[in-house]
């Protein structure tokens, strides 16, 4: 059974087809095939969401399927039913699962013990749907009309702020998969969990990033300046400390101006204006934050259509 729990669940040789499908689904929105016809896909969310929840709901509907949203606290999983029993029961009813949770091991266990495809809609470790949509957003610009994935190769992304968060981790994995360079600037002590470095090594990408404490060094020659919130969901108790140590890593107009003159600004959103980024940067003509958000829909439809092709095991 094929899942999408991390970027590397797609082989490099499959990326051209995936990105081309996202482009085709975007161009023909409302007038394309419905590969999820007759299917129900359940969405189990343990954390808040605007973009991911709505884009999956709309995307499943547009592909002909039925989205079934399940707040974790409304199902027995939230009262202690085991992950594996949940996976086995839901596998008897629905055709796929989309899961947003804390512990990455939970999505892995759902995938390992169920018999339907599982999509990672964000864990504490990774946010692969975000990174594929972001990469598609860049490829639309750099590979206009031509080689989408190829247009990313050799480009440099600078991630500034909470360099140990799920989006930073996923961008490290994604950049290595896509042939991009990545430099991250953030405070010492907020590094990725050892679990992430083990995953990176397992994928053959150990050390596949550059880390600095100087945000200006990270953005030098960068094609993209990317940031995310300083306090991810689940880290609220560390709010005061995080704001204090991450303040030097805010993306200001001065920092953005130190990247390449045609660099793009990206943020997965939601943004905390005045913390990790200023309003002026969010409003810059080279800020592509809302195109990123829109492309969640088109890329996730391409992922859903790809996973739905497989036979049940």
If binding is defined by CB under 6 A, does position 173 make contact with ligand NVA? no
| Choice between 55 and 91, CB closer to ligand CP | 55
Other CB atoms within a 10 A radius of the CB of residue 33 amount to: 12
Active site residue 312: no
> Which residues from 245-274 bind ligand CP, rule CB under 6 A?
268-269
- Within 8 A by CB and 6+ apart from 279, the residues are 273
**Helix pair angle (289-308, 15-27), 10° resolution:** 110
Q: Does 51 bind ligand CP (CB under 6 A)?
A: yes
CA triplet 220, 150, 206: central angle to 5 degrees? 60
- 275 classed as catalytic: no
236/262 with CB nearer ligand CP: 236
CB 182 within 8 A of CB 157: yes
Give catalytic status of residue 296 as yes or no: yes
Nearest distance, CB of residue 234 and ligand NVA, angstroms: 7
Q: For ligand CP, which is the closer residue by CB, 6 or 181?
A: 6
* By CB under 6 A, residue 50 contacts ligand CP: yes
Token pair listed for 209: 């990033």
Instruction: Answer yes or no: are the C-beta atoms of 174 and 132 closer than 8 Å.
Output: yes
Cβ-based nearer residue to ligand NVA, 233 or 243:
233
Binding at 228: pick from ligand NVA, ligand CP, none (beta carbon under 5-8 Å per type): ligand NVA
Q: Which residues pair with 91 in a beta bridge?
A: none
Instruction: Identify whether 270 is preceded by a cis peptide bond (ω within 30 of 0).
Output: yes
Show which residues are catalytic: 100, 127, 130, 228, 268, 296
Question: Residue numbers of the site for ligand NVA (CB under 6 A)?
Answer: 165-167, 228-229, 232-233, 268
Question: Residue numbers of the site for ligand CP (CB under 6 A)?
Answer: 49-52, 122, 130, 268-269
């Amino acid at each position: 059974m094929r899942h999408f729990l991390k970027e590397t669940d797609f082989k490099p040789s499959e990326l051209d087809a995936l990105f081309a499908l996202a482009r085709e689904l975007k161009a023909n929105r409302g007038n394309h095939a419905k590969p999820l016809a007759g299917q129900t896909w359940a969405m189990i969310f343990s954390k808040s969401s605007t973009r991911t929840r709505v884009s999956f709901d709309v995307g499943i509907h547009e592909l002909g399927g039925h989205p079934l949203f399940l707040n974790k606290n409304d199902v027995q999983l939230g009262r202690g039913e085991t992950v594996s029993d949940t996976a086995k029961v839901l596998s008897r009813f629905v055709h796929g699962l989309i899961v947003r949770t804390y512990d990455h091991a939970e999505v892995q266990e759902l995938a390992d013990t169920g018999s339907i495809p599982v999509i990672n809609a964000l864990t504490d470790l990774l946010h692969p749907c975000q990174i594929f949509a972001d990469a598609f957003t860049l490829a639309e610009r750099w590979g206009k009309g031509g080689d989408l994935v190829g247009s990313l190769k050799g480009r440099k992304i600078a991630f500034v702020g909470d360099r140990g968060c799920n989006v930073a981790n996923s961008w490290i994995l994604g950049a290595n998969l896509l042939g991009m360079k990545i430099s991250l600037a953030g405070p010492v002590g907020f590094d990725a969990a050892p679990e992430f470095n083990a995953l990176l090594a397992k994928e053959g990408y150990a050390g596949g990033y550059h880390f600095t404490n100087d945000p200006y060094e990270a953005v030098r020659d960068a094609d993209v300046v990317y940031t995310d919130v300083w306090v991810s969901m689940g880290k609220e108790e560390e709010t005061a400390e995080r704001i204090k140590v991450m303040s030097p890593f805010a993306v200001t107009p001065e920092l953005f101006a130190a990247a390449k003159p045609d660099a793009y600004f990206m943020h997965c959103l939601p943004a905390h204006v005045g913390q990790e980024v200023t309003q002026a940067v969010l409003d810059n003509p080279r800020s592509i934050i809302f195109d990123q958000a829109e492309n969640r829909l088109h890329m996730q439809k391409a992922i859903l259509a790809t996973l739905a092709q497989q036979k049940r095991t």
